[in-house]
Amino acid sequence: MQSSQLRLIVVLGGLSAFGPLSLDLYLPGLPALARDLGAPASAAQLTLTACLAGLALGQLVAGPLSDRYGRRRPLLAGVALYALTSLLCAAAPSIAVLVGLRLAQGLAGAAGIVIARAVVRDRLEGDAAARLFSSLMLVGGLAPILAPILGAQLLTVLDWRGIFVVLAGAGLALLVAALALPESLPPERRRSGGLATVARTIRSLAADPGFTSYALCGGFVLGAMFAYIAGSPFVLQDIYGLSPQAFSLAFAVNGLGIMAAASVNRRLVGRLRPATLLRAGVTQSALGGVLLLTAVLTGAGGRWGVLAALFLVVSCVGLVGPNTIALALARHGEVAGTASALLGVIQFLIGAVAAPLVGIAGDDTAVPMAVTIVVLAVGAVAAERWGRVHTVRG
């Protein structure tokens, strides 16, 4: 692999990691955050929901802007704003203010996610794009591994506010790295037009079953992961007795599962069709969801049964993510920024809806998290089937 390509993968992978970095680093401190601000668990989980909503809606702004003005300027502006809003989160005086700032933080960080995908589509398509998306997930997969471990260790010397200062520093580091990215969308390929043009493009994308089915498939699998992210600090620590350090280790193992699956996907793309690998991923997701619900309802396997099921649910993202993105964007290279934005909106909004559902019955039961994950996993299987039927007919 050439050094220039390796640098590109590292930078784009880091930008793609804005989501897990923003969500995972402070997870071990979420119960302490709730206590410090005098908020119930469900309100603390709204800080996750707000960030997810911002990550979704921000892509709808950054994607079309990058189609019109190029990738660099919207990207640099978004990363700089992310660093600033992270600092403001550290000073939040109440849970309500923190929820609002987390929304703003997500809106800013969305630029890195959506534009990283668009840059890949600017350069590659088909199996080559799926392979590069897998490489990005290998880099981005370090975030869910390292972030909760780092967060747990930081909490031994900092409080949850210090975690947001660290996030601001990460934003500044990514800003410096993004300065080295060359522009991938030359002026002659940029799209002019205002909101009406963007709206027409979005309607056209939404009317394409090949795009919508794969966007929903990836969204349901990511939604299951976000349900796990929102619920696992309370379920694993408060119900199953894991310490913050043990929780961060379990979280890291699941992150390693994502990286392992992405590595397998990268090696198999070209030998197997992306649609075939996607089918294996959604099947694994459904199996993990069923096993999780069984373990929670019956107590089978205790904490180890729950941890094993969660590993299946989370690690399949390494198979599902790269292939749903490549398949959804395959026929929309001319509007890669907007298509990537709509893809992200669908996926992150599903996560934003799923996250608060895990605490709907309080923080002393794991049943809502398990039920939410099962429903989303079944939805992913149905969406994958819809996409497969459409592809065959097309």
DSSP state of 183: P
- Does this model's pTM top 0.85? My answer is no
Predicted confidence at residue 19, as pLDDT, reads 73
Residue 281: partners with Cβ closer than 8 Å, 6 or more residues away: 221, 261, 316, 317, 318, 319, 320, 323
Predicted confidence at residue 363, as pLDDT, reads 63
Residue 257 forms part of a structural domain: yes
- As a residue count, the chain comes to 394
The per-residue DSSP string of 354-372 comes to: HHHHTTTT-SS-SHHHHHH
Residue 168 forms part of a structural domain: yes
Predicted confidence at residue 393, as pLDDT, reads 47
Q: Which residue has the tokens 């929670």?
A: 296
Residue 124 forms part of a structural domain: yes
Q: Which residue has the tokens 């907007």?
A: 338
Q: What is the dihedral of CA 382, 49, 163, 77, to 10 degrees?
A: 90
H-helix or E-strand spanning residue 254? helix 244-268
d(CA 85, CA 341): 21
Q: The domain containing residue 281 runs over which residues?
A: 3-181+193-393
Predicted confidence at residue 351, as pLDDT, reads 78
Residue 52 forms part of a structural domain: yes
Using 70 as the pLDDT threshold, list the residues of the chain that sit under it: 1-4, 125-126, 138-142, 144-145, 193-195, 333, 360-363, 390-394
Q: Is there a contact between 129 and 138 (Cβ–Cβ < 8 Å)? A: no
> φ, ψ for residue 210 (rounded to 5)?
-65, -35
Q: Is there a contact between 191 and 197 (Cβ–Cβ < 8 Å)? A: yes
Q: Please state, in angstroms and as integers, the Cα–Cα distance from residue 117 to each residue in 298, 327, 353, following that order.
A: 42, 13, 23
Q: Which two tokens stand for residue 224?
A: 């299951």
Overall number of domains in the chain: 1
d(CA 283, CA 263): 18
d(CA 36, CA 44): 11
Q: Is there a contact between 271 and 171 (Cβ–Cβ < 8 Å)? A: no
Domain of 106, CATH number, reads: 1.20.1250.20
Q: Minimal CA–CA distance to 247: which of 136, 344, 149, 156?
A: 149
Predicted confidence at residue 97, as pLDDT, reads 94
Residue 51 forms part of a structural domain: yes
Residue 188 forms part of a structural domain: no
Predicted confidence at residue 280, as pLDDT, reads 94
Secondary structure class of 90 (helix, strand, coil) = helix
Residue 335 has, within 13 A of its CA and on its CB side, a CA count of 22
Q: What is the dihedral of CA 342, 345, 350, 354, to 10 degrees?
A: 170
Residue 252 forms part of a structural domain: yes
Residue 106 forms part of a structural domain: yes
